[in-house]
Amino acid sequence: MIELYPWQQDTWQHILARVKQQRLPHALLLTGVAGLGKTCLAGKLAESLLCLAPDIDFHACGSCHSCQLMLAGSHPDHLYIHAEEAGKTIKIEQIRALKEKQSLTPSIASWKTVIIESADAMTHSAANSLLKLLEEPPGNTILMLTTNAVHYLPVTIRSRCQQMHLTAPDIQSTLQWLKAQRLEVDAVQLEKLAPFTLNAPLTIANALTTDEWQHYQQVQQDFEQLLKQPLNPVQLATEWQQYDLIKVMHQLLFNIKTRLKHYFCEQTALGLPQQYWQIVDCIINTIKLLSSSNNYNKTLLIEDFMVSVMRIAQTESTLSLAPAENN
């Protein structure tokens, strides 16, 4: 059965208190950055609600008929809805299927549970269709929505759910958990990873066990070079296409902000702040274009970005002398 992560304990206790008071809402919205295990937490709650003999702490027994069906992924009273492919939408047909299923009474357990992962991926019509269900919730159903981007969810959906926000644990707890996963890392490395992990333990673990960390370092290196001397933007922009470009832009934004921090707080960085602000503008503009629904040519966008950064950097030679301290 699903084990909770250490940083989810407080939220679980909050849920447990609600269960004991028989005040569990019909719709829960679990929010927080990616990499905190929100869907796992929702899955854990579904298991416990459906279990025919949960223990005193509301953990599923793991052996009853209902638990066996959950383990096999074929429980008739449970539905898991998600986008069919990463980056795609949750379609209205998926919500219609959910509504049909909710009109039936539970067949094994006393509850019916639904998880909608990354609910912000619902199309407009899917969200409208779900809204009707939220307005008239069936008495025996618990809907659990998760999202990394709560502001992309319509207010009408948000306002009909009980929101629970998960936060990343502190650095020491994260280091302890990573060590238990046999991942050796120190606080300095974690700080370097922070721009794209947002300190979420599962994202950090993923970065350490895949080539994301190498990608991160390569981008830092390329960017430093870009500030120092003219490079071939066509070649570099093509190489960067293998990365998650939005993450890359956030990484660069963090890099520049660190330089600005040093400039204003310690006067240690030598570049001119107005050049940094111009680069910040370029980064923000590129993020906007990359996130736009218009299908811009990403290679051209990055080429453009690189040419602009080089032009800004070359207006004064001082930028090249100012590597960000935490690179």
- Residues within the interface to Zn ion (CB under 5 A): 51, 60-61, 64, 67
Compute the chain's Rg from CA coordinates.
Answer: 24
How would you list the strands of the sheet with 27-31, edge to edge? 78-81, 112-116, 141-147, 27-31, 162-165
Strands (E), 109-256: 112-116, 141-147, 162-165
Minimum CB distance to Zn ion, residue 81 (Å): 23
Q: Which is nearer to Zn ion, 51 or 227 (CB)?
A: 51
Contact 219, 240 (CB under 8 A): yes
* Residue in 145, 42, 127 with CA at minimum distance from that of residue 89: 127
Closest CA to 234 of 290, 312, 303, 297: 303
Given a contact cutoff of 8 angstroms between Cβ atoms, the answer to whether 53 and 61 are in contact is yes
Which one, 49 or 252, has the nearer CB to Zn ion? Answer: 49
Question: In terms of CB distance, is 67 or 119 closer to Zn ion?
Answer: 67
CB of 303 to Zn ion, least distance (A): 57
Q: How far is the CB of 15 from Zn ion (least distance, A)?
A: 17
- Which two structure tokens, joined as six digits, stand for 35? 């990499």
Q: Which DSSP category does 8 fall into?
A: G
**Nearest distance in Å: CB 48, Zn ion:** 9
* Amino acid, single-letter form, for residue 317: S
Task: Provide the minimum distance between the beta carbon of 51 and Zn ion in the complex, in angstroms, as a whole number.
Answer: 3
Residue 52 in tokens: 């025919």
**Please, what is the minimum distance in Å from the beta carbon of residue 108 to Zn ion?**
11
260, 262, 263, 264: CA torsion to nearest 10 = 90
Interatomic CA distance for residues 175 and 199, integer angstroms: 11
Least CB distance from residue 62 to Zn ion, whole Å?
Answer: 6
Report the residue number, 60 or 166, with the smaller CB distance to Zn ion. 60
Beta bridge partners of 28: 144, 162
Q: Which is nearer to Zn ion, 64 or 194 (CB)?
A: 64
Q: Which is nearer to Zn ion, 51 or 312 (CB)?
A: 51
Nearer to Zn ion, 51 or 283 (CB): 51
